[in-house]
Every structure is written in C-alpha cells, then in structure tokens.
Amino acid sequence: MTVNLLELERTGFAQLCAGLGEKPFRARQLMRWIHQFGADDFDAMTDISKASREDLKKIAAIRAPEVVRDTTAADGTRKWLLEVGTGNAIETVFIPERNRGTLCISSQAGCALACTFCSTGRQGFNRNLTVAEIIGQLWLANRALGRGVDLPRPITNVVMMGMGEPLANFDNVVTALQLMLDDDAYGLSRRRVTLSTSGLVPAIDRLRDACPVALAVSLHAPTDALRSEIVPINKKYPLKELLAACVRYLDKAPRDFVTFEYVMLAGVNDSVEQARQLVKLLKAVPCKINLIPFNPFPQSGYQRSDAAAVARFRDVLMQAEYTVMVRKTRGDDIDAACGQLAGQVQDKTRRRERRPTVATA
C-alpha cells in the first residue's frame, strides 16, 4: 500500500526518507516540491536523484481529493466541490480581495453539531476528513489559482470555517495546521491562519498548547437560553465556560484578541436589547466582533436581519467601544457564502429523519 504524502508533516517526511536511506535534507526537498510548487509527479522533482525518485514511486503517491465541480461567482469568489469517497463531497471556497486571498477549508464531511441556521449542520455527519483531505484543499486551490515555482502566492490567509467543526477532528486538523505554518510547506503566519469553533472548550485548551493560531468563536447569541436553542453544543459548554477558555487561549495566541462571529437572524438575536446583553457578556474578553448577514438556504426557517437592524445592533456595540465589522456577503449566488456550504454527505447520524420542524423566525 502506498503512502499518500499529503498525509505527512515534517516528522513523517523525515521518517519516510530515513527508511529509504536518504539524508535529512531530502525530506525538506520533498515538502517544498509538493507544498510550495504543487508537484504531483516525482519525475518533476529535478533536484532529487533518479534512483530516489524511482524508490519513491514504489512506496508513495500524492493524492488530493478529486474536483467534481469548479464554480466562480460574479464577485470572483470560487468554490470547489471535492469528492472524498463513500458517496461524500465537501466544499472549499476562495475569496479574493484587493490585498489578500482567503481560502475557507472544510474539516469534516458534514457536521454533528446541528446549529440550526447552518446548511452544513442541517445535513448530518459522516466522518472526519483525513490530513490529506484537509491540506489537499489548500494544495488543490494553489494549483488551480496558478501558483508555481516562479508565481506569487494567491492564498495569503486560511480560515478553518468550511464544513464541519475543526476541533471535533482535532489531531488531523492540527497536523494540517502545522503544514500550513511550516516554512518548507506553505509558510503562513499564525496570524493568517484562523480556526473557527462553535465552542468545544477542552479542545480550545488543547489547541492553545498544540498549535495556537488565530481563534474565532461562533457565538450568535448573548444568553445561554438562546444560544442553547440555536447552537446546541452550548448545553454542554455554556457561555461562562466558553469565554473563560477564550481568555486562557489568549495567553499563547498570535493575536491579542478573539474574534466572535454573530450571524444576524431577523427577530431572533438582532434586537437592541440583545446587543446590550452582548456588550455585558464580552466585557472581560479582549475581542473583535463580526456581524454576519444570514445567508438563506431552502427550508432554513430563518430570515436575514435587514440593514437597519444590523446598523442598530452594530451601533450599540461600537458605542461600547468594541471593534465591529459587518461582513460583506461573498459568493452567495453560488451558495458559497457563510453558512451555505452543504456538499454531499451520507448522513450516518440519521438526523434528517429525526429533525423537528424549525419554526419560521
């Protein structure tokens, strides 16, 4: 059985090369060819001896998920549907901006956390993605966007905000993060890699010690009662525990703040009073707040807050001296916007059969 080299981080490459009798520098060469230059053919690795290349062909391969569909929105946002086997597909999104390019990466086929406003959460859960399936999204996107030996890097930022809860796939996600940060792979700054979580408190602490990158937390409500209703994991890790974990995380974080994400749901969490509750809730946590217009999907049961409601909510937060951004919706014409990623998932949780009807907000 061949080894998929997209599964390996630095230690794995070193062990592979040692097993072939190669010197340590060969591991660095392999990493650079695969991750910096997007090579998938050993014969293209011209500074590696022909004998070594033949040895690699016998035991190794470079296999990323297969592209099923490649779609570009009117605003330049690009979405790939990727086959990951067993009847499942995931989605990856590239968001081009003037001074940066951000890739939104998935970590699971589906999601088990069942946030009520999220298309991925509605469809159920199949399995965790492997390291190769996670880092393979970055590898594929770089190739598709034209990165090569003498070409500039199109992707400057990575956000683990695609399908799935990253911290529920902890080991594979951390290995992929280490590759993103490795100077012989993608060489991204910790400040330019963001992991978004719905609030798995013990895993936030583990991430702080294992691979602290920028942290974003899907908050979406200012009280435990409402958050438990729309983000069910809150029943296990309520707001007091979650915010304490965020403060602990800042001890080792590359930024001196946590980003809180707040999807604006009309008549559910967007009142001025709820903004005041949010001000009080976050007063002890250095943070920035992203207000995210809800992106509709069929039978969601929710509506997007109108611009006036968002402005009122934002103004309350800004008057309390919080840094607030209202996220611009990107790629919604190809269902690539926040909360819309659905892919194709064989639902082993059988949530579709059990799901109650969601009342219209």
Is the Cβ–Cβ distance between 58 and 308 less than 8 Å?
no
Q: Is 91 a catalytic residue?
A: yes
Catalytic residue among 7, 9, 22, 91: 91
Q: Is 118 a catalytic residue?
A: no
Buried/exposed 193-208: b ≥16 CB within 10 Å, e otherwise: bbbbbbbbbebbeebb
Catalytic residue among 17, 111, 211, 338: 338
Catalytic positions, written as ranges = 91, 338
